[in-house]
Amino acid sequence: MDEAGTAREIAVRLVQAAERLKLDFAESIAPFELSVPAARALLLLDEPAPMRVLSDRLACDQSYITRIADELETRGLIQRTPGADRRVQMLSLTAPGARMREALSTAVSASNRVLLQLSTAERTSLKRILGRLQTG
């Protein structure tokens, strides 16, 4: 197979693997009755962070983060507070949010069938390779 064909096959397989991972993730969070974006945000919010930082980590725009924050705040899982720069809204977990985050993390880790098929060494290599792909 030529370079272009190999690159295409890798791209197709990456997309297929990502779809399987997304399905596994959605199934694992279903009992928590959170949207997928809200669950992802909760898992990423390990310490207070500006909404902009969370939007960068989720690769989405500020208006979308506002909707996610609304969902989490309505459920009592996060709180918004003004940052040092009053134009900045900080998001932080509430006590119920921290408990939910821990439960989500456990559920997602336990049900990650795709990645559990790989050995520890393979997962380490995949993490390194994906990191290189993300940074360009």
Distance CA 117, CA 82 (A): 44
Tell me which DSSP letter residue 88 carries: P
**Residue-by-residue DSSP string for 98-120:** HHHHHHHHHHHHHT-HHHHTS-H
> Which of these, 75, 62, 91, lies nearest to 35 by C-alpha position?
75
| pLDDT digit string, tens, across residues 28-61 | 999 999 999 999 999 999 999 999 999 999 988 8
CATH of residue 102: 1.10.10.10
Domain count, the chain: 1
| pLDDT digit string, tens, across residues 85-108 | 878 889 999 999 999 999 999 999
pTM over 0.85: no
Whether 45 and 78 have beta carbons less than 8 Å apart is answered as yes
pLDDT of residue 87: 81
Is 1 a residue whose pLDDT tops 80?
A: no
What range does the domain containing 49 cover? 3-135
Q: Could you tell me the CA-to-CA distances from 95 to 12, 40, 55, 61, 78 in Å, in that order?
A: 41, 18, 22, 27, 9
